[in-house]
Chain A
Amino acid sequence: MKSKLYLLLNILLVGCGGSDGTSDSVVDNTLVLGSTGGVATVEYQENNGFLQFIPDLDIQEYNGASQGRELFIATWGPAPGARDLLDGYGPLAITDSCANCHESSSRAESLKSDGSTGNGILFRLRDIEGNVDSMLGAQLQTYSADGVPEGSVSWSEGSSNEILFHLNDNVNALDEGIVLAPRLSPQLIGMGLLDLVPESVILEYQDINDTDMNGISGRANQQQQCIGRFGWKAIHCSLDGQIVGALQQDMGLTSTLNPAEPCSDNQEICNIYPSGGDPEVSDKSVQDINDFLTILAVPERRINNHETFLAGRALFNSTGCNACHRETLSTGEVERFPILSKQTFYPYTDLLLHNMGPELSDGAKESGAEADEWRTPPLWGLGLIEGDEKSRFLHDGRALTIEQAILWHGGESESAKETYSQLTNDEKDALLAFLRAI
């Protein structure tokens, strides 16, 4: 796992002229980019590519990452279990292991070819006003300890190639207006770096009223009295928040921050089945999982042709993609992992909410984010999962390729999408090569 960081780009930029149908004028040959994750960058390995630790981190500085790794990959069981530490699963849940939804080298399967849905996608239950289902609560749990889950979801393709989701096997009909709001599970890259970005850095790009008149009006989700940064709707402000949210809603595990099981007031099952402790996941365990996720390194760029890469980057900027997919963010001072202090990295996200138009609206408002508002997802590592046939893109998995994902963009990104559409094939190839390399 140990390998030296490389600054690939700073040695190969001299004398690169434009080709591949691109104009010399858009290529900045003096450009020097840092490593994708700053010091937290690692040479990509095909196996366990998303499960590599920061190379220059001394083993003394792992903190609780060893334990966190085990808690992350472990299969949790209902209480009382043979292992105290790993019980408390359910009684309502989606799956029994973090690793079932976040794989070590790809994305978990979401839309299966037989029309069913897999661990790589879950469903919020909301209406356009943000109300949750009175019986099933805010999220559909597909596992129940009593053998009667809240339902299952199948999918089909609509007339415009959109994805239609169908609730099956449900005992209770959803409240009027409540929809299945799909959320694809991401690959876990650089979660620690994103967690360590000071709020002030995120707010640098906020432009709620589009005062710069560029058509882009990013806003921070401040529903929780803090700056949201994780999740498709930026509903979690911190990695801890993201972790305990997933433990609660996806695995039925309580924590100090989320002490309740994922039952609505109208569901009795959480009062019937035994608890795995109070809370079921200790503060130490949450910290250990956080440590594990924080020291996961970001794969270095995979650049086949540097000239094309730079041309693609120039097009990424000139088409306006970078207005939301902010190239760099930086961390502040980090006490627990000093090595991560003051790192500049390349996630290609501003962590802000943007209006993506009716094309991508799912009819569900969630925790301060409107139905058509989505947090800019990071783009790093996309090329590593595109080749996997089970990988899909966008919140509902409707895109099978990166290019399809671009072409589904709407709302504030309509203009960028149109500009992309007008590029020559060579230019599109260069831009896609750039995206696959980052």
Chain B
Amino acid sequence: MTLQHSFLSVCILTFIAGCDSSDSPASAEVNKDTTEPEITLSTLAANRSIYSSTYSINGTVTDNQEVTSLQLKVNDLTKNVTFNGGDFDVSFVLTPGLNNYELIALDAAGNGASMTDSIYFGQQVAAGGAHSGAIIDGQIWTWGRNNLGQTGVGFTSKLNADENHPTTPQKIEVLDNEELVTFTSLAFNQNASIALDNEGEVWAWGDGDGGQLGLGDQDSVVLDVDYYTPQKINALKDIVSITRGYDHTVALDKNGQVFTFGENDKGQLGNSSNEDADYPQLVTLTNIVLITAASDSTYAIDSDGTLWGWGENDNGQLGQGSDDTNDYNTPVQIPLLEKVISVAAGKAHVLALGESGKVYGWGLNASNQIGNTVEDTWPDEIYEAVELPWITQAKAVWANGNQSFVEKSDQLIYPWGFNGTGTLGLESDQDPISPTVAIADLNNVQDIAPGALHTIALRRDRSIFSWGWSFEGSLGIKEPINIWGYTVPQKVEFNQ
């Protein structure tokens, strides 16, 4: 979809005086070109979240005479953008959190035009097994299941037993050297939580099994202690992106290096070992721009758009053309027909978004989370990437458990796969076999966090909605029906 925008004049014009005299003699000045260039972007991000450290924009710049320059300003950096026949295509590196960028075009007469947009690098909402979170104005809010301290409120609790159980959102203020920490990204899965702050440092709390909080030392003992408040992982620096599998954690640094820790029985740490690790392990990949994880496997996209995977392949989730019980404890390339710009993983299925806007899927398909035909011709396990015929021009993909979500070009969210607990937000008890029905009225979505059985969504107006399995306060609503599937998204209230 092409979006036209109004163009703002920039105050660089040099011919202010003497141009407005209607009775002046015919001159070159009368015919002076006063028409501004026009910039058109193929897509506006409008603050939406992406999970890649690089972002590409493309579009056209035109003028009634000639465009002489096109510049991109992003995060205090300015770079010249080349354009051929008016078309331009430029990538730039994002910093965690909100990135504002501006395109400025000039023509030969000095007329200028600019347009601005912004994009958020990181996850602004999070959903684990049955706990949830959001970042609002740099601060973490959490709610839901807290049997292992995964909400970070400082204690463990249960919904029906503890008055202070975090049924509704609680603000988690974190101090570092007595300074309030500002956060940019969250990653919850199962019963552990991690957060990235604006200094590139990572904080972890909740279930410590298998060393997945990364708080141990470089010794032979795996620290598996649960922590009830966010703890800084001192071994990680300059991190730009975080993600979680079911029992392991993944971090990407600004140099494109991947670090992992936690359970490693399937080789999901990718460190040529099958030993659990409570200390960050370096994966032998370079120039990585995006990381994600399934239950026991891990995925990374490099700057060439190549997708890599490691860990479990029991259901063909490494896309190697077969399933096996080998532990792939070093990265293997996952064959795809085009460059990949995003990837999402559920328990054991994977969705890859190609630069063409096509989506590919592979791995477990028992709930039709990859997709199926009405004739039921797609198998329960798919061993190599298949193009999903229901989707073109996708803008984003998300997955967890046995469910999938795609944002199509109409900017609505289309879910498919497991729906037994209201997880997909559809007025149906059935598992949709393909993404053909959108979640009603859920437009302008900036970020989605699918949990095990519930889902959290952030909209452009900063409102946050939840739906799906209500367990121990997972939806963050007042008077929740516990152990119950909510079909219709409802707004989560934050009492500042």
Contacts and interface: CB of A to CB of B under 8 A. Distances in A.
9 contacts: A59-B491, A60-B491, A66-B487, A67-B481, A70-B484, A74-B481, A82-B482, A82-B483, A85-B479
Contacts of A48: 427-428
B391 interface: no
A63 to B, nearest CB: 9
Contacts of B440: 1-2, 53, 59
A282 interface: yes
A159 B479 CA distance: 53
B227 interface: no
Interface string A1-37: 1100000000000000000000000000000000000
A312 to B, nearest CB: 32
Given A2-B440, A69-B487, A60 B461 contact: yes
Given A1-B427, A60-B463, 18 more contacts: A2-B438, A2-B440, A2-B441, A53-B441, A57-B441, A59-B441, A59-B489, A60-B491, A66-B467, A69-B488, A71-B481, A74-B481, A82-B482, A83-B482, A83-B483, A85-B482, A284-B478, A284-B479
Determine chain B's interface SS by DSSP, over half rule: loop
**Size category of the binding interface on chain B:** 20 to 34
A66 B490 contact: yes
A53 B483 CA distance: 25
A83 B481 contact: yes
Nearest to B475: A66
Contacts of A85: 479-482
Interface string B447-487: 00000000000010101010100000000011111111011
Nearest to B461: A60
Interface in B1-50: none
B489 A66 contact: yes
A294 B467 CA distance: 20
Contacts of B490: 62, 64-67
Nearest to B440: A1
B148 to A, nearest CB: 23
Nearest to A74: B481
A1 B481 CA distance: 25
Interface residues of A, number: 27
B442 interface: yes
A58 B491 CA distance: 12
Nearest to B457: A59
Nearest to A56: B441
Nearest to B484: A70
A223 to B, nearest CB: 33
Given A1-B427, A58-B441, A66 B481 contact: no
Contacts of B478: 284
A388 B92 CA distance: 60
A144 interface: no
A52 B437 CA distance: 14
Contacts of B428: 47-48
A59 B482 CA distance: 23
Given A2-B441, A59-B442, A60-B461, A66 B486 contact: yes
A110 B443 CA distance: 41
Interface string B407-443: 0000010000000000000011000000000101111
Contacts of B486: 66-67, 70
Contacts of A83: 481-484
Contacts of B480: 85
A70 B483 contact: no
A282 B478 CA distance: 12
A339 B45 CA distance: 29
A74 B488 CA distance: 14
Question: Which of B441, B443, B491 gathers the greatest number of chain A CB atoms within 10 Å?
Answer: B441
